[in-house]
Structures are given as structure tokens and as C-alpha cells.
Amino acid sequence: MISRVTDQMTSLQSQQHLQASKARVSDMQARASSLQRIARPSDDPTATAEAMRVKSLQAATAQQARNVDDGNGWLSTADSALTAADAILAKVRQLTLQGANTGAVSPDALDAIATELEGLKKDLLSTANASYNGRSVFAGTSDAGVAWTDDYTFTGGVDAAVLRRIGPETTVRVDADGARAFGDGDDSVFRLIDDIVTDLRGGTNVSTHLAAIDVRVGDLRGVQSGVGARHAQLLRAEDTLMDTKVSLEAQRSELEDLDLGQAVLDLQLQQNSYQAALAITAKVVQTSLMDFLR
């Protein structure tokens, strides 16, 4: 069967082709303006799904980077406090050693040493209550505001460590073990200094306290060593996350972004195609009402 082609059919088909060509030009203009390869999921469902996966990884990487920054703040504060505490304990030991020579030191001098030790104890307590963003770096998840109260009670709890996720399967403790570094209550370094002060003013030989001071210094330095190791781990994670961030952005860009030169070229080709379609249609569809009236 032979189909009859009328002028109306030719006109409608030509109009449809022109509309489709115009739509492609419009699409190319939008892409050239936004430089986005995917305007809607239907443009490329496979690439859209992959882009969503990459963006999810980017969001996780960004959160992990923020966790690293926060962890660096916690551990830097803890390390600075422990360094200051170590210097204070060195001075406490020096003064205790001076006070141990009871036969060569006058009572007034012993009282002066005791007074200085009291000042150092206050400095040490203030240092031990160091905080970052309003949270004590030595009391874990405690919300007490300070790690040690005025009676030297430790406010931190067992298994109350502050953790930060720095990788898909990696978490790092960002607080410091305050109970190990400074002790708790009567076993604390603060009570130890009080005992030294009491013995100095009572005329008791304080040389017996030197060993206890050395134990406290060893514990504090052990905690500081752990803080340093975890800080180094965070710094390595920071470098890894930076590399991951660059890699993921390259993947996202490959999936979603258009090259400017290619976008302009594609737009020009579509415009040329549309102009050619207009010219051909004008040649083919020339029948008008005047043609029928003649």
C-alpha cells in the first residue's frame, strides 16, 4: 500500500524536526552555561548513580577531615598542658630536694619553699584542668567542666574516652588519661604536694617524697608519649584525607563537569545544524495560501 504524502504532513514533520533541533540547541546552551554534564538523572542514569556514590564518599571524607581538625585541637591542648605540668613537677622536685636538707635550711627558708610549692600546686591544678572548646582534655566525656575538683576528685569516668573517626574503619582517642597522668583524690599529685608542704612546715624530712614525685613524672610522661603517638597518627590521616579529597573531586568532575571548549564546540555544532534545518525547511515547505488561490 502506497501512503499519500500531503503538504500538511510535510509541514508537520518539518515542524517536529525543527522543534527537536531547537530543543537540542537549548540543551547545549544550558550545558555550556552550567558546564554540567548531567542536568537530570535521565541524562545518564549510570553516571548519576556513580556520581551519587562519589558525593557520599566526599561527604564522609569532609566529616573525617573535620574530625581530624578537632582531634588536633584536643591533642595539641593536652600536649601543651602535659609539657607545662612536666616543667612544674621538675620545679617541685627541685624545691623538695632543697627542703630535704633540713639541717642546712632555716625554718623561714623551709616555709618559703612550702609557700612556693603551694603556688606551684595551684598552677599544676589549673594546667590539669585545661580545656578545649569548653571540654576538659583530661576528663574524657565528663561534662563537669573541670577534670579535678578542689578536693582533687577526678570527674572523669572509666571507659569515657573521647573518640574521633578519621577513616572508614579507624577511630582515634583525642583526650588524655588524666587519672594516670595526675592521679585521683589522695593518690593525686596535688595531694602529694600538700603532704610535702605539711612535712616542710612540720620539720619532717621530705626526702621520702622524692621517689613518689619521680613516679608521678614517669606516669605523666607516659601519657604524653601516648598523646604524641596519636597526634602523629592524626597528622598522617590528614595527609591521606587530603589525597582522597583530591581523588574524589577528580572522579566527580569527570562524571559531572563539562570541558568548556568541548561545550562551546557542541553548542556551535547544534546551532549550525539548526540553521541548516531552517534553511532546508524553507526550501522544501514553500506552499502557502496564495499558491492555492492562484
Higher pLDDT: 34 or 92? It is: 92
Domain that holds residue 131: 52-252
In a domain, 281, yes or no: no
In a domain, 7, yes or no: no
pLDDT recorded at residue 47? 82
pLDDT band at 203 (very low <50, low <70, confident <90, very high): confident
In a domain, 130, yes or no: yes
Q: Which of 31, 115, 59, 89 is nearest to 215 (CA)?
A: 89
Here the CATH number for the domain that contains residue 202 is 1.20.1330.10
DSSP character string of the chain: -PPPPPHHHHHHHHHHHHHHHHHHHHHHHHHHHH-BS-SSGGG-HHHHHHHHHHHHHHHHHHHHHHHHHHHHHHHHHHHHHHHHHHHHHHHHHHHHHHHT-TTTS-HHHHHHHHHHHHHHHHHHHHHHT-EETTEESSSTT--SSSSB-TT--B---TT---EEEEETTEEEE-S--HHHHH--GGGSHHHHHHHHHHHHHHT---GGGHHHHHHHHHHHHHHHHHHHHHHHHHHHHHHHHHHHHHHHHHHHHHHHB--HHHHHHHHHHHHHHHHHHHHHHHHH----HHHHH-
In a domain, 120, yes or no: yes
Residue 285 has phi, psi (to 5 degrees) of: -95, 85
pLDDT recorded at residue 159? 74
Question: pLDDT digits over 204-250, tens only?
Answer: 889 999 999 999 999 999 999 999 999 999 999 999 999 999 999 88
pLDDT recorded at residue 252? 84
In a domain, 155, yes or no: yes
pLDDT recorded at residue 105? 76
Which residues touch 155 (CB under 8 Å, ≥6 apart)? 136, 139, 142, 144, 146, 147, 148, 149
pLDDT recorded at residue 175? 95
Q: Which of 192, 234, 219 is nearest to 70 (CA)?
A: 234
The tally of CA atoms less than 13 A away on the side-chain side of residue 152 is 17
pLDDT recorded at residue 143? 86
Instruction: Name the percent of the chain lying above pLDDT 70.
Output: 73
Cα separation, 234 vs 232, in Å, equals 5
When divided into structural domains, the chain yields a total of 1
pLDDT recorded at residue 144? 86
Average pLDDT, the chain: 84
> What's the rounded mean pLDDT across residues 79-90?
97
pLDDT at position 251 over 80: yes
Q: Which of 161, 205, 199, 201 is nearest to 180 (CA)?
A: 161
Query: 182 with 188: CB under 8 angstroms?
Result: yes
pLDDT recorded at residue 247? 94
In a domain, 277, yes or no: no
> What's the rounded mean pLDDT across residues 249-259?
77
pLDDT recorded at residue 64? 95
Q: Determine the angle formed by the axes of helices 107-128 and 45-99, rounding to 10 degrees.
A: 170
In a domain, 15, yes or no: no
Which residues touch 230 (CB under 8 Å, ≥6 apart)? 71, 75, 172, 173, 174
In a domain, 44, yes or no: no
pLDDT recorded at residue 220? 96
> What's the rounded mean pLDDT across residues 145-159?
88
